[in-house]
Amino acid sequence: MAAASATTASATAASATEGPRIVWNEKQRRFETEDKEAYIEYVLVNDGKVMDILHTYVPRSKRGLGMASHLCVAAFDHAKSQSMSIIPTCSYVSDTFLPRNPSWNPLVSEELKSSM
């Protein structure tokens, strides 16, 4: 039930900001656009308590539209709803998304905060 509500919450968040619908693909461990062309990949660590975001991909045809940010919001919303923390291994997440969206910093894994 929690997974379904997380997906719904992500879809609702996307529609509320007039962005693309982002879908949680649990099997492939990624959040993706409905056409599966843009996505953010992750792995779960620490017994599923931490989401390590590894890679964000947006094809050239969709760049400049805020797609990567929408993908991040879906992943962060999901992590928050599941009481997970995040490791921002992906350089887009650590170098661009988080500095532009500091309200998400509380989700960053405690181990990383001490080195920030």
Question: What is d(CA 56, CA 43) in angstroms, rounded to the nearest whole number?
Answer: 13
Catalytic (active site) residue 72: no
Cα gap 70→47, rounded to integer Å: 26
The sign of the torsion formed by the CA atoms of 29, 30, 34, 36 equals negative
Question: Which residue of the set 58, 72, 90, 108 is catalytic?
Answer: 90
Active site residues: 90
